Structure 1
């Protein structure tokens, strides 16, 4: 039985910035941050838009990140506002939530920055650290969407949110040294190295770093968890709605999409080196627009260094980092499929919402998603899946069958399998949860409960951006933040009072 997080108290909060600046010396320079009041919760020191690597422009486009020079420490930086996001398609607010900070459209290739949120709390020891990786598909990742102030204060942790390259800029591969692929993942590792080197200057403990992400941010964290690279950059992991698995995530023939993009922008050349050189000179907006126009998808690859096999396969063999792990999902992760259908303006979406699906509709959609996930026409698998979900959820109707199928295939099944494999090796504690509360402010159709991404809004305290939430929701968010803080500090998410969260095991399946 999964641990059901249904709790509930506190009052809604807002954030505003005071004029009191704060300064911290780091390897990036002397940072001038701001002291921010989070309503009645307290104060947080924010250091925003902090560069953690050299600008990946010109010949560094598509290349692994380069560390800042030693002279960077001597400069003085205004860290009072977010840096631009990395180039990516227009963001769909409904994919995550309307309450996130999506007002800024500022984008740049000079985007390798992070944001540090330091709570003003009374503690005797250095604070644990949570490094947050955003990600909604390997085309989207904006750190500014996720204000770390609430989690920092309520969890008594330092929160670091990371910008990294996405889309073609982060995952294009020509299988060459100057365009090897996976550079978005390497950006994340560079940010983790920055945290290890600098977080003590903020009062943080570099020996207590938790890597946390949602969807493709979580998939990225699962890749780092299973990577054979020995350098230890984190001690704990929180995976929310995403494990990197299958052809849906990994591209086994990356030169195909790279070549198609080169053709689209007039960079087809006889040699791969000349093609990459040409692509490095194409204006960023043109490169992004053409990748969108042609429908190209740039994804992680097996590079033989960072990624040698799928995370699930590595964990099955015990070839993973010995760390403590929380794995979480939402009750109706299949809501992500509904949003996709809505975005594609599919007729299936209207029939789903009206609960007018036919068995022929379900059959066609199952085949579509099985092909999307496996990148192959698996006729026998599609038939097996259709039979399984029609039988398992027969009383709930075709709409429910579709939602459960989608959520299980893309997210929930991998989450439970990963928890099972990790617990077998006993190289760290494993905790599993399913978030089951439908937010009072949810914009999802009424037939859905907790949708994809809802747990993040509560665990990070972002619900306090809402003007009106219930007392139960305020307490739920507070308890989830406290639980994450407890996990970051002592590897146990259980709270002192009445939340006893047992470790996952195959018998109890908590």
Structure 2
């Protein structure tokens, strides 16, 4: 009798497993079928890999609708990422046929319906990156499974063109640029039109991203092209106001690339580039990733979005009214700038080698060059104010990291939060700083969270690879997934299906409240005025200094 009960129980479970899957899904392009696997008792996951959301794009053209397919598309394998340089910039990887997306749909005892949808936009400096398969060895960083399962949301990752093919611009109508942003938009629009068939709520789409993906998220909610498509957004370490997010002189870079591939720089430049070998074009867009205190790396990130009069009709700072009804979370890692500083000033990571005070002066002179010597002097006075007569080696090194973190990430993010809150009609605004110390060996003892170190926690890696983490890392991963998915569900990170460790208050232009995210979140983690002295310096004091250009007029 006991054996019969076991057999019946197994049969019931197997029956549930076959029921709790979408099976074949009808989309606008045709039918697709993914895979389904069990996660635990009465929990399953449907995964669709490599679903096309647009046709293979024409060179330097906006994406076009996919023509569709016959029969059932087996969406079981990741497609290639978009054509791009390798990390060494000596070769290329990927394909021009790359406008695909991946979907994770959590299932319970019955097929899910009306779930919140989270669309992820990857980072990589607009130069590299992808959400199609392993990012390092066999580790797939951007798997949406943990977020989808723990937060009961649908997760989508999209491909978009990067590098020369995604962001080269002639500065005129012959090559307006922003092709990568148009790809992202096409992916979001496809999700809005089709996600209901996968069990999602098309009227509750959250876009989220990190670094260049975070700036892209900001661009997407500021563009009038996305009106009615996006309900909420999360920017992790990047906004449209970041100094690397907009190229103000795209023609100069386009001409440099044209010369490298043997094209003219006159009115025939874009027709020539359109028929040039795509691999040669991509390699020609390699960037100089060797910085120095006098020429910081941030100034070399030139393949970026442009104000094209179309997708971005104006400077991003003037477009926040378009996000007046879109809930927004934005934040930074507390040492986001370290990844840049380590290349600009290598001595900061060498414990026995001091970093001279003159390096701070040189770096600030470079970052304030538009204001001349007055800008450099005022910035130096601000950042060395607490040094005393004999600052320690660690104090000087940490100051260098703080300067680049403020300039490249933190201050622009705070400015974006102010603009979002001030332009809000129904939208809520939330600010955070992520401060879990880096797990990378060999960094200084004072090191905080470096750029991109939040991603492993958002995507639940402490749960999927538990031997590589301590319990405290699983705590912070659980916190972030709870806040992020609650926000996607309700627009309030505190309210939803997941319990959170402390209430996260909204950011307002008078309250300036933010949440510090680390391994021990409690009521003391709610803080006010994130580095307000330095935010005020860059946004007000420095901004009011006359620029060299205006002084010369």
What's the secondary structure of 2:50's corresponding residue?
Answer: strand
After superposition, the C-alpha distances for 1:267-325 in whole angstroms (9 at most, x for unaligned) are 1164x2x322221222221111222278883221111121123323333xx35341111
**Structure 1 length as normaliser, TM-score?**
0.83
- 1:276 alignment counterpart: 270
Relative distance call for 1:393 and 1:419 in structure 2 (3 A) is farther
Residue in structure 1 matching 2:355, options 348, 354, 357: 357
Q: What's the secondary structure of 1:383's corresponding residue?
A: helix
Q: Which moved more, 1:434-443 or 1:460-469?
A: 434-443
The structure that has the greater radius of gyration is 2
State the partner residue of 1:253: 249
Counterparts of 1:255 and 1:462, CA distance in 2: 42
Give the one of 500, 504, 507 matched to 2:503.
Answer: 500
Corresponding position: 1:313 with 2:313: no
The Cα of 1:440 is off from its aligned counterpart by 4.7
What is aligned with 1:302? 307
Q: How does 1:100-249 map to 2 (within 5 A)?
A: 106-121=93-108, 125-144=113-132, 145=135, 146-175=142-171, 177=173, 179-229=175-225, 231-245=227-241, 248-249=244-245
Of the two structures, which has the highest relative contact order with CA contacts closer than 8 Å and spacing of 6 or more?
A: 1
| Counterpart-to-counterpart distance in 2, 1:78 and 1:159 | 19
* 1:366 matched to 2:364: yes
Gapped regions of structure 2 (runs ≥ 5): 1-17, 136-141, 289-299, 515-553
Q: Alignment length, in residue pairs?
A: 462
1:467-505 deviation digits (Å, cap 9, x = unpaired) = 331112112212211221111111111154642111112
Q: CA separation in 2, counterparts of 1:210 and 1:497?
A: 19
What displacement does 1:89 show?
Answer: 2.0
Q: 1:331 aligns with which of 326, 329, 334?
A: 334
SS in 1 for 2:189: helix
- How far apart in 2 are the matches of 1:192 and 1:442? 38
CA-atom RMSD in angstroms: 2.8
State the distance in 2 between where 1:269 and 1:330 align.
41
Please give the alpha-carbon distance, in whole angstroms, between the structure 2 residues aligned to 1:489 and 1:82.
Answer: 27
- Aligned partners of 1:332, 1:46: CA distance in 2, in Å? 35
* Alignment CA distance shift 1:293-1:226 (3 Å): closer
Over residues 14-72 of structure 1, what are the superposed CA-to-partner deviations in whole Å (9 max), with x where a residue is unaligned? xxxx9x9943221233222122455899532111111111102xxx1011111113xx0
The 3 A distance-change label for structure 1 pair 311 and 40 is: farther
Over 3 Å counting, the alpha-carbon distance change for 1:406 and 1:41 in structure 2 is: farther
TM-score (norm 2): 0.77
Deviations, residues 129-187 of structure 1 (Å, cap 9, x unaligned)? 00000012111231134111111111111111111001110111124556321111000
Question: C-alpha separation between the residues in 1 aligned to 2:455 and 2:161?
Answer: 22
- Give, in whole Å, the separation in 2 of the partners of 1:230 and 1:486: 23
Alpha-carbon spacing, 1:473–1:41, altered in 2? closer, same or farther (3 Å): farther
Q: Deviations over 1:242-266 (max 9, x none)?
A: 0122653222222221122111111
Measure, in 1, the Cα distance between the counterparts of 2:243 and 2:451.
21
- Aligned 8 A contact 1:440 1:469 in 2: no
Q: Which residue of the partner structure matches residue 486 of structure 2?
A: 486
1:449 aligns with 2:448: yes
Deviation at 1:91, TM superposition (A): 3.2
The answer to whether residue 84 in structure 2 is matched with residue 88 in structure 1 is: yes
Q: Is the 8 A contact 2:99 2:159 kept in 1?
A: yes
Task: Quote how far apart the aligned CAs of 1:337 are.
Answer: 1.4
Structure-1 separation of matches of 2:461 and 2:102: 16
Worse-superposed segment, 175-184 or 153-162: 175-184
CA distance in 2, matches of 1:156, 1:443: 38
